[in-house]
Amino acid sequence: MDKTEKKKRVLSGIQPSGHLCISNHIGAMKNWVKLQDEYECVYLIVDLHSLTVNQNPSELRQRCYSYIAQYLACGINPDKSLIVVQSHVPAHAELTWVLNTITYLGELNRMTQFKDKSKKEKNINLGLYTYPVLMASDILLYQADLVPVGADQKQHLELSRDLAHRFNTKYSPTFTIPDPFIPKQGGRIMSLQSPDSKMSKSDDNPNNYIALLDEPSVILKKIKRAVTDSNTDIKYDESRPGLYNLINIYSAYSGQKPSDIENMYIGKMYSDFKNDLAEIIIESLQPIQKEYSKIFNDKEYLDKLLLDGAIKARYIASKTLTKVYRKIGLVKKIR
């Protein structure tokens, strides 16, 4: 890249709910790490989003710190990227209000994540419904060019693009239209016990997912128990969802192509494949876990990092919000 050329911006975020797991890592965070050199990156802990489901206040606070330490341990480098707690930048909530006023109810009614969550949740609150508007505000505030997420976020991103386009057309060009960045393989990692539904970090049954902080013995046990099928050969075949998913995980952590993995296991048994897979996951997570245990207790360091992230993020966000307020006709704030 030409040195005078401005770096494009990447933005993504994860809700501090449940345990960060390998699906978040494969679907999103591995790309976050890769994109750091080429882009100016902002990685959020979207704590306001997590309030849309019931939270225990002291656990939520602890979990936020734990997530920050896990972002760092996975390779997010604070010298290159901003790590920001969403609630530290008031402009997220402020822009959400403006975007609410240009979002149609029909658009929110179509959101599949809302439909799924409202089937499961007892507490179907307004925040859960307008969740995608807050996400659009996260993205548009920073004028993000690229948003690395898993495939499940595609519909939400489509809404962000539509809102940006709608605002730009109604007033004048203001927001960058963000592009999704979804891995071709690994964009949708499935549950270990029910491979027809996605692996989720908030699943009530821990056997469905592997958390980034799971101990080696737990990882081995979960992989051994993972549902496959009654065949005996190791084939990368979408009609065999359990095995297909395990090969995707194998491929993501070993860097080997599914076809090469198939070849390696010709004539071998599921148990051989599963033992190796568990080993590969354990080895990949070990450095992350080691690094995590060094950082997690250093609250002073984490707080300093968050303050730095918040100051820089507030500056970027306030530039966008000021522009938005001016364009829609609000009276200028006297400083």
**Cα(316)–Cα(39) distance, integer angstroms:** 15
Residue 201, contacted partner among ligand AMP, ligand TRP, none, CB below 5-8 A by kind: ligand AMP
How is residue 261 written in tokens? 């993995």
Q: Is 333 a catalytic residue?
A: no
Which range of residues in 10-18, 161-169, 294-302, 308-316 is near ligand TRP by CB under 6 A? 10-18
Rg (CA), the chain: 21
> Is position 7 annotated as part of the catalytic site?
no
DSSP 44: E
In the range 28-87, which residues lie near ligand AMP by CB under 6 A? 28
């345990």: which residue's tokens?
19
Query: Interface with ligand TRP includes 139 (CB under 6 A)?
Result: yes
The verdict on 242 binding ligand AMP (CB under 6 A) reads no
DSSP state of 189: P
C-alpha 49/C-alpha 57 separation (Å) is: 14
Structure tokens belonging to residue 189:
């990692």
CA count, 13 A, side-chain hemisphere, 244: 13
Residue 198 interacts, among ligand AMP, ligand TRP, none and using kind-specific CB cut-offs from 5 to 8 Å, with: ligand AMP
Annotated catalytic residue 198:
yes
Q: Which residue is nearest to ligand AMP (CB)?
A: 27
> 30, 119, 198, 327: which is the annotated catalytic residue?
198
> Shortest gap between Cβ of 303 and ligand AMP (angstroms)?
23
- Which residues have CB under 8 Å from 63's CB, separation 6+? 16, 17
Least distance CB 318 / ligand AMP (angstroms):
26
**Token code pair at residue 188:** 């949708």
Strand partners, 34: none
- Residue 24 interacts with ligand AMP (CB under 6 A)? yes
Residues that bind ligand AMP (CB under 6 A): 14-15, 23-24, 27-28, 149-150, 152-153, 187-189, 198-199, 201
Q: Which residues are catalytic?
A: 117, 198, 201
